[in-house]
């Protein structure tokens, strides 16, 4: 039986646009096959209040859910950007919500400096992880129990998958597609996007 997984992408003010839009695009257009209309992923967005957020450089997005009415997701994607590393890292409500979601997720993932939020939630302790190159040293200082891996697109530690800066979230998303649906699904999605797989 084909299973549709729910994907929740966290949004907040000053989130990096491609951090969330890249994974959203990859997972939204992925298909089980050319013929089937049902999608493998139902991708939705969530913010703390559910009100419109202003992403980096002024893009405004209205999330599907607030923390109060969001369901538990099979896959959680935590993006980065200035909002993550400067503001949300100090937001106890956001960190608590990430922890709560992680108790039920199949995969908890991050893009760019979203890894700082996973680290603050304690989800990276004893694991390998990566982030944007400009935040390697901060990661190492702030999270001494995390083995920071540099100059890679993503690090797969089973349930937890972290990816590097901005466009690396796309590479991570294709990795998820292949992991869950196989190489053909990954190639089919890349072809539709006219994206060159590495």
Q: Which helix (H) or strand (E) holds 18?
A: helix 17-29
Alpha-carbon distance 114 to 123, whole Å?
A: 12
Alpha-carbon distance 116 to 17, whole Å?
A: 17
The alpha helices in 149-194, defined as continuous H runs, are 168-181, 183-193
Alpha-carbon distance 51 to 12, whole Å?
A: 10
Q: What is the pTM of this model?
A: 0.96
The alpha helices in 90-165, defined as continuous H runs, are 92-102, 114-120, 136-142
The string of pLDDT tens digits covering residues 60-101 is 999 999 999 999 999 999 999 999 999 999 999 999 999 999
The string of pLDDT tens digits covering residues 127-175 is 999 999 999 999 999 999 999 999 999 999 999 999 999 999 999 999 9
Ordered by where they begin, the domains of the chain are 5-193 (3.40.50.880)
């Amino acid at each position: 039986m084909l299973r549709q997984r729910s994907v929740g992408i966290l949004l907040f003010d000053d989130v990096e646009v491609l951090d969330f839009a890249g994974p959203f695009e990859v997972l939204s257009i992925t298909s089980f096959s050319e013929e089937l209309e049902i999608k493998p992923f139902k991708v939705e967005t969530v913010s703390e209040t559910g009100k419109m957020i202003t992403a980096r450089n002024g893009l405004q997005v209205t999330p599907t859910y607030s923390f109060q009415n969001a369901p538990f997701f099979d896959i959680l994607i935590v993006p980065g950007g200035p909002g993550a590393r400067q503001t949300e890292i100090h937001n106890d409500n956001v960190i608590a919500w990430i922890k709560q979601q992680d108790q039920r997720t199949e995969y908890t993932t991050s893009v760019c400096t979203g890894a700082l939020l996973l680290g603050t939630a304690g989800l990276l302790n004893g694991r390998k992880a990566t982030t944007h190159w400009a935040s390697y040293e901060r990661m190492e200082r702030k999270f001494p129990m995390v083995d920071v891996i540099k100059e890679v697109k993503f690090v797969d530690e089973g349930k937890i998958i972290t990816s590097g800066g901005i466009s690396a979230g796309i590479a991570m998303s294709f990795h998820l597609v292949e992991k869950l649906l196989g190489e053909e699904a990954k190639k089919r999605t890349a072809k539709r996007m006219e994206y060159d797989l590495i």
